[in-house]
Structure 1
Amino acid sequence: MELIEHYFKDHKTWFSENTVKVYRISLKHFFDFVGKPYDEVKKADIRKWLEYLNKKGLSIGTKNLRLISVRLFFRYAFEEGLIDRDPSANIKTARKEKTIPRCLNRRQLIELFEVTKDSVRDRTLVEMLYATGTRISELLEIKISDIKWDGKLAWIRKGKGNKERFVLFTTECGARLREYLKTRTDASPYIFTNRRGGHLSEAWVQAIFRRYSEKLGFKVTPHMLRHSMASHLAEKDMPIAYIQELLGHKNVNTTRIYAQLSSEKRKEQYDSYQ
């Protein structure tokens, strides 16, 4: 649909590549379902589509994401004067229960470090995910030139919402990164590169983590390392505002969950001494 292409073109600086990919899939699914051009879609069509998604058993988060992509598109069409009414107006997303982020405890983290030690690349990947707290999509986009060795900083050029930021890494992480880079014989600008010179794909990294999960006997994902880093910093009483900045959270309330985790951890420690 031509309008969809214009929509993404006009939002080029607002949406990340991942967001465009997800929104494009959602819009295609929606219009395939309703079988109508955008200017004939009614509120009832959107509600029927949502009922269909409910029957498919999709998670609340997935359904909300798909609805948001449709709402943003119709808001754009309305603001551009292409439709008289926004059919998605007042159709609200479902309330999502707050879930506690899944984190690795110290023992599990050490076991993960141990099981990856035979691969310099994988051990460095794990160390950087934990030390920086980056999303896997952000880490894979980092180039060697983005590393500021003196300040132990890594530049995230395009974080969530296309926002840039700097993240910190430890001295140990820096040493492992240097060791790994010495093993590289290619000229790729990316830190974690594939055979074609591009960066590793998220799917490839997720597959690596699934293999290590099988070896460890418990589930571990790249995002769990991000949660673990934030939780462990909260346990050490780092101010929430600092953790928010490191994680690149827009809303501090998203970060406060780690303070809750920290309080629960202290309660467990207290109870163990009683």
Structure 2
Amino acid sequence: MMQTQPNSDTKCKDECRARLQEELIINCLKRYPNPNTQRVYKNALNSLFRFTQVLIFDLTSGNIEQWIDYLRNNGLKESTISAWLAAVSSLFNYLLDCQAKGYELGIVTNPVIAVERPTIARYNMIDALDWDQLRAYVKELYKRIETGPRKPIHFRDGGLNLLLILTGKRLNEIRLLRWGQIHLFQGKPKVQWNSEREYDKLDEIPQPAWVMIRAYLELSGRLPQMQTNDYIFVGLESPFNRQTNDYSNPLDERTIRSSIKSYADRANLKNITVKTLRHTYAALMADVGASPQVLRRQLGLASLSETRHYMYHLMNSVDHNRHWKTIAETLGLPSESDDPLKNPTANGSKKPKYLRLPRK
């Protein structure tokens, strides 16, 4: 007589439920077009299930509270915990929607509702520069080029910093920028950011940043050989890269953060990070009159469900390029395309426009 294995059925059932959970998470994340949102939510869910060792179908508010305590004990910021709780809540809401459509998942309620969320004073978290501080920071970008040797690295750092300041994009969107994402339309360079879903959503590259980028590519000798998949910002400091002419890897984050700190120290500014520049862009854009809708699009933030349809149509008619121009003009940056590699002037008595320091 064949013996039965009661644990075999249980193991098979658990494996099926685990595969179902994985599929549900993938489908839930697909609802968020922004890759940064997907990354944050995926990290949160991975952390939750790795800690609790419980499938979502059996997860309770008690499990989530234990997870929160674990995150706090490991030094996670309250703002991060709040964002991760939002990810878990979003997944449960998605599962409840699936059940409403007839799927039997055994989910009774969203357990995150019963969990006390961290109190976040969002506006107190924003650390942005004011106009005078930003002028001082930008002044150092140009001073490094004017007073030091004409090194490609200085133009590279200048172009990268100006992109951060004048577009508000996330670090990886700029750091991982490839040559094939840049297109010329009527003589103006435009970029297709990685966060955009439709190919026709192109933003004009701020002219001060483009002048720096072209100078950096020309001085480094890369411009004539640039291919579609080539990263624009690469590590020129590496002896290996220089000897092998291999620039297949993008500039690393550590080098960028070190560069930002260097310019900030020269401007006597403390605790300046990539996020500081992003927050500064948002604050100054609002100061020059950009609408919340324009800010949402340019910053790539998660959409508000009740305004998504309206904003989709609104964005087609908004000239968001005028706002970076306003910021650039207020900072005293050059507004036209000056070739930084040509002789500044005939008599040499006047500074070239691209090297003029931002005026107050």
Q: TM-score, normalised by structure 2?
A: 0.57
Is structure 2 residue 278 aligned with structure 1 residue 226? yes
| In 1: Cα distance, 2:73 partner to 2:40 partner | 21
C-alpha displacement at 1:64, in angstroms?
A: 0.9
Deviation at 1:25, TM superposition (A): 2.9
Structure 2: segments with no counterpart, 5+ residues: 1-17, 236-245, 308-360
Letter in 2 for 1:102: A
Aligned position for 1:255: none
One-letter amino acid of the counterpart of residue 291, structure 2:
I
Report the CA distance between 1:112 and its aligned residue: 4.2
Q: Equivalent residue of 1:82, what SS?
A: coil
Correspondences of 1:62-141 after superposition (within 5 Å): 62-78=80-96, 79=98, 80-90=103-113, 91=115, 93-97=117-121, 98-99=123-124, 100-103=126-129, 104-115=133-144, 118=151, 119=153, 120-141=155-176
* Higher Rg: 2
**Aligned-partner Cα distance in 1 for 2:107–2:158:** 56
Is 1:155 matched with 2:206?
no
Q: Report deviation, 1:211.
A: 5.0
Matching residue of 1:192: 233
CA RMSD of superposed structures (Å): 3.4
Greater mean deviation of Cα atoms: 2-11 or 120-129: 2-11
Structure 2: distance between partners of 1:4 and 1:151: 47
Alignment correspondent of 1:171: 207
Residue aligning to 1:270: none
Kindly state the Cα deviation for residue 123 of structure 1 after the two structures are TM-superposed.
1.8
Deviations 1:69-119 (A, max 9, x none): 222333344425323323425246433212243224311331244347742
Please give the TM-score of this superposition, normalised by the length of structure 1: 0.72
* 1:106-149 alpha-carbon deviations (Å, 9 max, x no partner): 11331244347742321221122222222212223433233244
Displacement of 1:63 in angstroms is: 0.6
- Counterparts of 1:4 and 1:198 in 2: how far apart (Å)? 35
Counterpart for residue 262 of structure 1: none
Question: Deviation at 1:42?
Answer: 1.5
Matched, 1:44 2:95: no
Q: Secondary structure at the match of 1:105?
A: helix
Q: Can you list the C-alpha shifts for 1:166-222, whole angstroms capped at 9, x where unaligned? A: 333333322222222222256443322465624334455334434555565533222
What do residues 220-251 of structure 1 show as CA deviations (whole Å, max 9, x unaligned)?
A: 2223223333444455x334358524434546
CA distance in structure 1 between the aligned counterparts of 2:260 and 2:21, rounded to whole angstroms:
35
Task: Give the alignment partner of residue 177 of structure 2, picking from 133, 142, 165.
Answer: 142
Matched AA of 2:165: Y
Q: Which amino acid aligns with 1:191?
A: I
Aligned residues between the structures: 249
81 and 93 in structure 1: CA distance in 2 versus 1, 3 angstrom threshold: farther
Percent of paired sites with the same residue: 21
Contact 2:195 2:300 in 1 (8 A): no
For residues 160 and 108 of structure 2, the distance between their equivalents in structure 1, rounded to whole angstroms, comes to 49
* Aligned mates of 1:163, 1:101 — CA distance in 2: 32
